[in-house]
Structure 1
């Protein structure tokens, strides 16, 4: 069954691949991005020429922009079957080296942007008693790493949104899934797309060579593994298509797609779910 699928952050990377993959499969894809008349005009024109793709302006950091985009789509198509929260920014740096304003800038996109889209789409999905919301998080969404604290903090938050909303929306037949990718060679990771990084260079300098060596070792490990496992971003787009095509009620809460993890991500997800079940039982909660 063909669906109306709204994807955020489609000008590059995973979002662009998702758009092309889902449209090719016959679904109607709403490709949402910022600056369709200026900064991303070329990307908007390219995707707009693809069959089954409808490009809309969307800035997830702006309430009015989000509300306008969803209203436009709902007025035109009457429904949104699937929302994919893909838009995000990455960033690196020592925790002490981040200004609060810089962290807020990241959270506006990665966390509040997700909440804005939820609040914009849920009234229609609840009315239809049907819907699927897929959120991209991180392969490290259950733990953290040095130099990535604000970024992974934002991805922890999206995991929390996904899991909590799954319980809240169960009565409306709305499913929530987080896709947990590893490190993939997209514009977010190859340096061609600006991120939001630590901005107190003087603090970074105080950590000296030891801090720089640790940072370099983590970067080399992550990007070395990405090359070793030949990580292909198409895997994520195909994963979205798989989830969309799954029968309602059979989709998992978390859907890891990280070959580098070699199954440890699935192990962690299973262990966390088992412990939560025990905790819920201990409190006598009915979830």
Structure 2
């Protein structure tokens, strides 16, 4: 069945692949991105030329832009069946070397941007008693890593949002999923898409070579594994399609797609859910 699907962050990477993949399957895609008449005009025109694809301007850091993009889409199509919160920004560096403003920049996209889309789409989904919201998270979504602390914090916050909404919206037939993607070769990881990195140069200098070497060692390990396991971004686009095709009521809260984790991500998701259930029962309620 044809679905009306709005996807954020479609100018590059996973988002662009999602548009191409879902369009081929006959779905109607609202491809949302910034700079549709500016820096991303070429890719906007490329995607708009695909069957059943409508490109809209959307800046996740702007309340007005998000409201306008969703209002425009709802006016044209009458509903949005699926929202895919794909847009996100990365950030690397020592936690102490981040200014508060730089941390805010991460949260504006990775957390507040997601919250803005929820606020914009939920009234119509609740009215229809149906909807699916898929959120791109990160492989290490339940623990943090050195040199990525503010980024992971923004994803932790998003995960909390998704998990809470999944309970509150269940009676409205609205399903919520977070996708644990792991490390893939996209513009976010190859350096061509700028992130919000540590920006206190004096603190970075104070930590010296030991921190630089530790960061490089971790990065080399991650990128080495990415090559070893031949991580293909198409896996994520295909996973989104699989989630959309699942029957209503059968979509999981968390959906790991990280071959490098070799099953440990699935173990973590399962154990975390089990412990949460026990905790809730100890407090006298179920979730």
TM-score (normalizing by structure 1) = 0.99
Equivalent residues of 2:91, 2:148 under 8 A apart = yes
Question: Structure 1: how far apart are the matches of 2:272 and 2:77?
Answer: 39
Question: Structure 1: how far apart are the matches of 2:133 and 2:187?
Answer: 24
Question: Structure 2: how far apart are the matches of 1:197 and 1:145?
Answer: 15
Residues 1:25 and 2:29 are matched in the alignment: no
Report what 1:251 is aligned to: 251
Equivalent residues of 2:277, 2:286 under 8 A apart = no
Report what 1:68 is aligned to: 68
RMSD: 0.5
Question: Structure 1: how far apart are the matches of 2:41 and 2:168?
Answer: 38
Superposed CA deviations along residues 75-114 of structure 1, whole A, max 9, x for unmatched, are: 0000000000011100101000000001101100110000
Question: Structure 2: how far apart are the matches of 1:201 and 1:92?
Answer: 13
Q: Equivalences for 1:124-139 in 2 at 5 Å?
A: 124-139=124-139
Report what 2:44 is aligned to: 44
Q: Which runs of 4+ in 1 moved over 2 A?
A: none
- Give the superposition deviation at 1:286: 3.4
Question: Structure 1: how far apart are the matches of 2:124 and 2:106?
Answer: 28
Question: Paired residues, what number?
Answer: 287
2:146 counterpart SS class:
coil
Superposed CA deviations along residues 11-65 of structure 1, whole A, max 9, x for unmatched, are: 0000000000001000000000001000110110110111111000000100000
Tell me, which stretches of 5 or more residues in structure 1 are unaligned? Answer: none
- Give the superposition deviation at 1:176: 0.1
- Give the superposition deviation at 1:158: 1.1
Residues 1:277 and 2:277 are matched in the alignment: yes
Report what 2:80 is aligned to: 80
- Give the superposition deviation at 1:202: 1.2
- Give the superposition deviation at 1:184: 0.1
2:10 counterpart SS class:
coil
Tell me, which stretches of 5 or more residues in structure 2 are unaligned? Answer: none
Q: Equivalences for 1:54-133 in 2 at 5 Å?
A: 54-133=54-133
Residues 1:263 and 2:263 are matched in the alignment: yes
Question: Structure 1: how far apart are the matches of 2:80 and 2:71?
Answer: 10
